[in-house]
Structure 1
């Protein structure tokens, strides 16, 4: 036997041809290649995963290999827990049900304060009430901004799409905003509540590079269009003498004419101030939970911020903003064929339940009509009125003889 030939123990334990390069973490079997390693796992039914509970001698514990092995085992456990928690949060599974709520994390304050003393020496736990991580801070910020958030059922698409949260760095809310175009395409992006509507739209839909050099020209065109629109709506300047001379003629012409539908439509369109477009688009906030089949929208100014337009408003999980090429005036003029309805027009025909909040102040100032007063007939009690007497009075009014 030639002395240059290696021993079998020095070769790969699978193929016995090449010297080994790798060692199995599970059973320390030495192999020379990936096919040999796979063949070893198949033959020996070995998983190839290091056993963290394997016995080690005292001398083997004080080594860098043993230290790395323990460190990797601990970090692997933490990584698995974080991945499971993230997966449960994405699927809408409540992991905090039945836990004790700390005083700072609870929204109500009463239950948390009572349990704060009992859990003074324990680890701080997350709030119950089905809230996921960061949801309590978001609800507190929305309440401070006077925004009513309607919650969708846990696990529904609207609920899972809501990633609104309190931004600790900017000290404000980061809202999830749903943008809907004229074609019905929906895009969901996050925006800080201090952003203007135009800035939030530009961040969600950046201007193409080939259009960026013409941005100044577009701004000038928008400004000129706003000035021309203001010039059309504003009356021409007149001297006091001309106004006094024309007032009697105009009064006589108004008295001789009956108001028609076109005049009322023009008055309604003039009641809405003109809003300049942004990138040839007009923005509208969607009003949820209405009794009409058409979406009810509220005109927005591109310079308004999110916290301004959402104050005293109701949103379903997060706000929805329409970006449409039609202005509010054109929607009022073509309200019969328009797929949307403005909030001002909707509140005129809405049921009393939906307009109760807006009309509560005016109802308090209106005096009630008692049964014995001479006010409106709606306040008179007609239960004790004789029907025969009423018929006789009606016949006398119609010049018919009374039998």
Structure 2
């Protein structure tokens, strides 16, 4: 009887404690709900909506958020299982779409793009062409010169720890990249965001090429 009474007292205390937690949105009424995304407590549907509108909170739990093993339960296990199933479904759908595109390689590409892809392939470079309308494709002026048999590249420069993005068009395939980047790193007021790079010797700078997923 003592253990049963102790269990009842514990439940009563827990409920009383929850009632004492006021709504985090209006600050007037006892809370009834806890947001799965940010754990803010609210008392009613209007307060839930007001919280989402005020903070931009989605109200959905981040399925990739780290959870300590001590807090792991069956609910989280089931949530992780559903996430893995969804990822599997998306991956299989992408695989089927990719197989369809492979039936006719470059079916809708104009001749100049097909020749560019072929020329790049001869140089052991595989080009991945974005769909029409994508900004990166619209800004890319890479071309293959049939008469002189060379590729002129568009190069996009991104500088670490800055928001600076620079584009160079018509770069001959035999051009030394140091000579291209050098003109962007000359001291001057226009390249103030790049002053940390201007102070360095070109030989000490490190350049990285973004590696795209294999297809």
| TM-score class, shorter | 0.3 to 0.5
* Larger Rg belongs to: 1
Name the structure, 1 or 2, with higher relative contact order (CA <8 Å, separation 6+).
1
Q: Which has the higher helix share?
A: 2
Normalised by the length of structure 2, the TM-score is 0.39
